A and B are shown apart, each in its own frame.
Chain A
Amino acid sequence: MASMKMKKRLRDRSESPSDVSGEDWEDDSDGGSDTELQEAFASGKLKPGLNYSVEQRKPCANNKEGLIQKLEEIKLDLPWIERLDLTSRLAPLAPEIAAQIGIDPNLVVKTKSAAKKTKTNEDDDVVVEEELDNVDDDFKRELRFYRQAQSAVLEAVPRLHALGIPTKRPTDYFAEMAKSDEQMKRIREKLISKQQQIELSEKAKKMREQRKYGKQVQLEVMKKRQEEKKRIAESVKKFRKGAKGEQDELDFLTELEDSRKNTSKGTNRHQQNQKGPIKKTGKQKYKDTKYGFGGQKKRSKYNTKDSADDVHGKFDRRKHGSAPGNRKGKKPAQKRPGKVTRLKMKSNKSKR
């Protein structure tokens, strides 16, 4: 009760607004809320429902006849070309934009066709236009204004063409514009910078996505490889352990070779048919000698031409820079002089 500070009049909310004018209570000069209510209740003026107070307003002037008369006074009867004013409805909304806002485009289209069937102009207006329920929704509001202007253009331009008036500015017509060139330049720059920003952000997003995806893929591949290795190692173990009994379980060998061939980059296809070990490069061999490869080492020593040729522990001339290809100074390597020349050199030396 205390929160309902009464001002001047009481009004029953359940009543329709048109009935208010009929009820006129006297204002209490002291403005005591409770006493007023009590009096009103005693006289039976309070009705059930929520009663709340309404500020009394002076009646606002609305001299309709005067307005209409004034309108008649100032009206100018000119041909349309002089006035160029149009009353426009809203132009139809493109379905993409309708989807963006959340208006059902089918609804608009359906109602338009329905209106066509009925063929009444008033219904057409009522049906096609949606009421703007929230003025603060900037996008919707501006879109409505845009559509109104669009419909005006769509109506006026054919009308002007019918009158034989050119509406479009030709490209070679240079004249003073409302905004200076400098202003337009600044606007263009701003638009471009905005676009660039959007592009950059899109790029960054994509990169992030890619990295995430790439990471995922990488993880999966690693997992797979590990699983493969595990499997092979297990089968090797099994074989080793059960080697005394079964000597036919050499399937995993083929698996091993297959897996190696599949995982290593650019494996040579014809090596599958090759008997014996895979041909290795010098570095690989060196690495093998150092680190070895569990089971593979055992199976990698065969007595073939290649193994006979291959000599471990040889001084690696490439590493120490004295390979035939890479002399420092790039001069041709000096050949050891022949016997005669050497004798000559010797005699020359002794002569000095």
Chain B
Amino acid sequence: MPKRKRETTDVSKSPKTKPKRKQKAGKTIETAKEVPVIPAATRGSDQQPPKRIKWTNKQRVLVFSSRGTGFRARHLMTDIRSLMPHAKSENKMNKNDKLIQINEACEMKNCNWTLYFESRKKKDLYLWMAKVPDGPSAKFLVENIHTMDELKMTGNCLKGSRPLLSFHKDFEFQPHLALLREMFAQAFNTPNHHPKSQPFFDRVMCFSIADNRIWIRNFQIVEEDGALAEIGPRLTLNLIKIFAGSFRGECLYENPLYVSPNLHRRSLKMAAAGKYINRVEVKADREQRMPETAYPVENEMDDVFRRAEQAKQKPLDDEANGSMGEKSRTTPKKKNQKKRK
């Protein structure tokens, strides 16, 4: 495939002509320090086009998804692709295929990084991030997805401008985080002098750590003194595992605080069910524990009425009985203590 002729325009030399809307990729603006190169007016058809020697850091990322991703994950993927000019797309992969095949796909497209979005049950989205030939790979659970389309994301940036990558200081304190930092820094960084990249710096990509997760935010630099506007997309990554090889190799790190979404849902359901079961059990326990007669109290007054009853049955000739009877009447009435069941 013949290479397209790429022009270099020098804005500083031609201030009168406004550069028009970019139709094709490949215009770069040279730094003020370097001497501007003006291409010749004519060139022969045999002549080789000038080789670009400035783009040295060759990082290419293969961004693609599995079959069965929902709209949100798909939009997220397309947003990431649009923000990374060094990204390449690939057809959807079957989940039944082995992950090792991704290495081959990357080989075909000449990519050395990959971001693979795998969605399960149309509910959970996992992100595989790997350095393809033999680098480390990491699996994340993606949560809290907000795409660039949301109207609350008011910022805008040049398509393909190089981002400033900002990492939280906690990334340096633990080895697995330090490794992840290096991976993010290499994969998300648009290489310098990339043909599709744009010259000015109007974007900052922020990686933070909170609640054992990695939060990714994209901001537009509205003013150089610090005013920012969020462009999107927004991600939260929950690390699951880090492997030594790309989709293979030993597990170098496993997140102890990770709970798989299935388990999480299950625990919620159990808690809800547990409420009812708990109540039933408590009731059964209570039935067991309760005695037949609660508080059997011996009261000296208890047999007053018994004696009165006996007195009634006997003939009323005894004075003692009679007095007893009166006595029984003058005493204040006492409610019989009910036997509790």
Q: Which residues of A in the span 61-108 have a Cβ within 8 Å of any Cβ on B?
A: 61-64, 66-68, 70-71, 73-76, 78, 81-89, 91
Contacting residues, chain B, for A83 (C-beta < 8 A): 165, 185, 189
State whether B281 touches A63 (Cβ < 8 A): no
B156 on interface, CB distance cutoff 8 Å: yes
- The proximity string for A residues 10-48 relative to B, scoring 1 for CB distances below 8 Å and 0 otherwise, is 000000000000000000000000000000000000000
Given the known A-B contacts A74-B182, A146-B219, A153-B228, are A169 and B158 also in contact in the complex, defined by CB atoms under 8 Å? yes
The answer for the CA separation of A60 and B258 in the assembled complex, in Å, is: 11
- The proximity string for A residues 151-194 relative to B, scoring 1 for CB distances below 8 Å and 0 otherwise, is 11110110010001111110011111111000110110011000
Instruction: From A125, A135, A178, give the contact of B211 (CB < 8 A).
Output: A135
B304 on interface, CB distance cutoff 8 Å: no
The answer for the CA separation of A86 and B201 in the assembled complex, in Å, is: 14
B224 on interface, CB distance cutoff 8 Å: yes
Q: Which residues of B in the span 141-168 have a Cβ within 8 Å of any Cβ on A?
A: 148-149, 151, 153-154, 156-160, 162-168
Q: Please give the distance in Å from A128's CB to the nearest CB on chain B.
A: 11
A314 on interface, CB distance cutoff 8 Å: no
Given the known A-B contacts A135-B210, A164-B31, A178-B159, are A78 and B202 also in contact in the complex, defined by CB atoms under 8 Å? no
B328 on interface, CB distance cutoff 8 Å: no
The answer for the CA separation of A57 and B242 in the assembled complex, in Å, is: 19
6 contacting pairs across A/B (C-beta < 8 A) = A62-B253, A68-B179, A71-B182, A144-B210, A156-B164, A178-B82
Instruction: From A61, A66, A184, A190, give the contact of B254 (CB < 8 A).
Output: A61
Q: Please give the distance in Å from B274's CB to the nearest CB on chain A.
A: 10
Instruction: From A135, A145, A166, A167, give the contact of B206 (CB < 8 A).
Output: A145
Contacting residues, chain A, for B162 (C-beta < 8 A): 84
State whether B202 touches A174 (Cβ < 8 A): no
- The proximity string for B residues 163-192 relative to A, scoring 1 for CB distances below 8 Å and 0 otherwise, is 111111101100110110111011001011
B278 on interface, CB distance cutoff 8 Å: yes
State whether A149 touches B228 (Cβ < 8 A): yes
State whether B22 touches A62 (Cβ < 8 A): no
Contacting residues, chain B, for A154 (C-beta < 8 A): 225-226
Contacting residues, chain A, for B11 (C-beta < 8 A): 173
State whether A150 touches B226 (Cβ < 8 A): yes
State whether A153 touches B158 (Cβ < 8 A): no
Given the known A-B contacts A148-B208, A169-B200, A187-B154, are A71 and B19 also in contact in the complex, defined by CB atoms under 8 Å? no
CB-CB nearest in chain A for B212: A135
State whether A178 touches B252 (Cβ < 8 A): no
Task: Determine the main DSSP class of B at the interface with A.
Answer: mixed
Q: How many residues of A contact B (CB 8 A)?
A: 66
Given the known A-B contacts A61-B251, A168-B200, A169-B202, are A87 and B172 also in contact in the complex, defined by CB atoms under 8 Å? yes
Q: Please give the distance in Å from A275's CB to the nearest CB on chain B.
A: 76
Q: Which residues of B in the span 19-53 have a Cβ within 8 Å of any Cβ on A?
A: 19-22, 29, 31-33
Q: Please give the distance in Å from A308's CB to the nearest CB on chain B.
A: 83
- The proximity string for A residues 120-135 relative to B, scoring 1 for CB distances below 8 Å and 0 otherwise, is 0000010000001001
Instruction: From B183, B201, B215, give the contact of A74 (CB < 8 A).
Output: B183
Contacting residues, chain A, for B172 (C-beta < 8 A): 87
B135 on interface, CB distance cutoff 8 Å: yes
Q: A88-B167, A149-B166 are in contact. List 8 more A-B contacts (CB 8 A).
A: A61-B241, A61-B252, A67-B175, A70-B252, A82-B57, A82-B189, A153-B221, A186-B151
CB-CB nearest in chain B for A62: B253
Q: Please give the distance in Å from A235's CB to the nearest CB on chain B.
A: 71
Contacting residues, chain B, for A153 (C-beta < 8 A): 164, 204, 221, 224, 226, 228
State whether B228 touches A167 (Cβ < 8 A): no
State whether B176 touches A67 (Cβ < 8 A): yes
Given the known A-B contacts A169-B158, A187-B154, are A176 and B164 also in contact in the complex, defined by CB atoms under 8 Å? no
Q: Which residues of B in the span 276-324 have a Cβ within 8 Å of any Cβ on A?
A: 278, 281, 285
B231 on interface, CB distance cutoff 8 Å: yes
State whether B19 touches A174 (Cβ < 8 A): yes
State the total of A-B contacts with C-beta under 8 angstroms: 204
The answer for the CA separation of A61 and B56 in the assembled complex, in Å, is: 37
A2 on interface, CB distance cutoff 8 Å: yes
Contacting residues, chain B, for A64 (C-beta < 8 A): 175
Q: How many residues of B contact A (CB 8 A)?
A: 81
Q: Please give the distance in Å from A101's CB to the nearest CB on chain B.
A: 16
State whether B21 touches A176 (Cβ < 8 A): yes
A225 on interface, CB distance cutoff 8 Å: no
The answer for the CA separation of A70 and B198 in the assembled complex, in Å, is: 32
B332 on interface, CB distance cutoff 8 Å: no
State whether B204 touches A173 (Cβ < 8 A): no
Q: Please give the distance in Å from B182's CB to the nearest CB on chain A.
A: 6
CB-CB nearest in chain B for A91: B226
CB-CB nearest in chain A for B153: A187
B94 on interface, CB distance cutoff 8 Å: no
- The proximity string for A residues 279-315 relative to B, scoring 1 for CB distances below 8 Å and 0 otherwise, is 0000000000000000000000000000000000000
Contacting residues, chain A, for B244 (C-beta < 8 A): 66, 70
The answer for the CA separation of A87 and B173 in the assembled complex, in Å, is: 12
A3 on interface, CB distance cutoff 8 Å: yes
State whether B169 touches A125 (Cβ < 8 A): yes
Contacting residues, chain B, for A62 (C-beta < 8 A): 176, 253-254
The answer for the CA separation of A5 and B256 in the assembled complex, in Å, is: 23
State whether A166 touches B226 (Cβ < 8 A): no
The answer for the CA separation of A61 and B189 in the assembled complex, in Å, is: 29
A141 on interface, CB distance cutoff 8 Å: yes
State whether B192 touches A67 (Cβ < 8 A): no
State whether B164 touches A67 (Cβ < 8 A): no
Contacting residues, chain B, for A70 (C-beta < 8 A): 135-136, 179, 244, 252
B98 on interface, CB distance cutoff 8 Å: no
The answer for the CA separation of A172 and B224 in the assembled complex, in Å, is: 18
State whether B186 touches A76 (Cβ < 8 A): yes
CB-CB nearest in chain B for A190: B151
Instruction: From B149, B169, B176, give the contact of A89 (CB < 8 A).
Output: B169
